[in-house]
Amino acid sequence: MENLFNILTGPCLYIAMAVFTIGLIGRFVLYFLGLDWKLDRVAYKAHMGQGLKGGVHSALKWLVPFATHGWRSQPLAAIGFFLLHIGVVLVPIFLLGHNVILQQRLGFSLPTLPQGVADALTILSLVGLAIMLLRRLLLPNVRILTTGQDYFLIVLVLIPLVTGFLAVQGFGDYKALMLCHIISGEVLLVLAPFTKLSHIALYFASRMQIGMDYAIKRGGRTRESGAFFPW
């Protein structure tokens, strides 16, 4: 049993982190290599500076709650989205327990969140996940785009969230919950580059592309705000 934990937090962890990192970097690079300025009718290379300014602006602005018209026009989806994503990004990276593993395995660690904050963010993430799931089930225009993979991924995100939370709160069989938590978390890392979870990296790619598009043409050269399209 203890050796199973060793393997899961040793070789398996290294493989999962490597697949996740290299896979997502690969997807990100391939996204840009796949762009065709003639097909997109955007002179990316001729206006790289202007384009990048607009691209970065677009990628960052959509990360701020209610900063864009898009978010303001669908407030419930925005609330669900940010509740879910703030937790699932901050908690795994800055959780004390995860950083203890980093320190032990790789010799470095990041600043950590107080446990109470991590607990609260996890609960908010679950609320956000529920809102996003209901949205997917209830709105016909979202449901029609939904495939089995989307439901599978929702469950895959749900399992490490719930098992991690229950283990920390002292419910149930600690070791069984931790095994389930680690295995599902590592499966999630490995699958991320090959599923829609690749949006972890590709969000920045496609938002950058659209931002460049709007900075280079569609008024980017003549607009008062220049490259910064008022999203």
Residues that bind other proteins (CB under 8 A): 2-3, 5-6, 8-9, 96-97, 100-101, 103-105, 114-115, 143, 148, 151-152, 155, 158-159, 162-163, 166-168, 170-178, 180, 182
Answer for the pair 59, 53: CB distance below 8 angstroms, yes or no: no
Q: How far is the CB of 17 from other proteins (least distance, A)?
A: 14
Looking at this protein, which amino acid is placed at residue 15? I
Looking at this protein, which amino acid is placed at residue 119? D
Residue reference for tokens 């003639």: 38
Our CB check for other proteins shows the closer of 180 and 202 to be 180
In eight-state DSSP terms, residue 170 is T
Q: How far is the CB of 195 from other proteins (least distance, A)?
A: 15
Our CB check for other proteins shows the closer of 63 and 93 to be 93
Q: How far is the CB of 1 from other proteins (least distance, A)?
A: 9
Our CB check for other proteins shows the closer of 9 and 68 to be 9
Task: Count CB-CB contacts under 10 A for residue 86.
Answer: 15
Q: How far is the CB of 170 from other proteins (least distance, A)?
A: 7
Our CB check for other proteins shows the closer of 49 and 148 to be 148
Our CB check for other proteins shows the closer of 67 and 90 to be 90
Q: How far is the CB of 139 from other proteins (least distance, A)?
A: 12
Answer for the pair 214, 40: CB distance below 8 angstroms, yes or no: no
Q: Which two tokens stand for residue 107?
A: 């010799």
Q: How far is the CB of 8 from other proteins (least distance, A)?
A: 7
In eight-state DSSP terms, residue 198 is G
HSE value, Cβ hemisphere, 13 Å, CA-based, for 192? 25
Answer for the pair 176, 186: CB distance below 8 angstroms, yes or no: no
Cβ neighbours for 151, distance < 8 A, ≥ 6 positions apart? none
Our CB check for other proteins shows the closer of 59 and 189 to be 189
Q: How far apart are CA 22 and CA 186, in angstroms?
A: 15
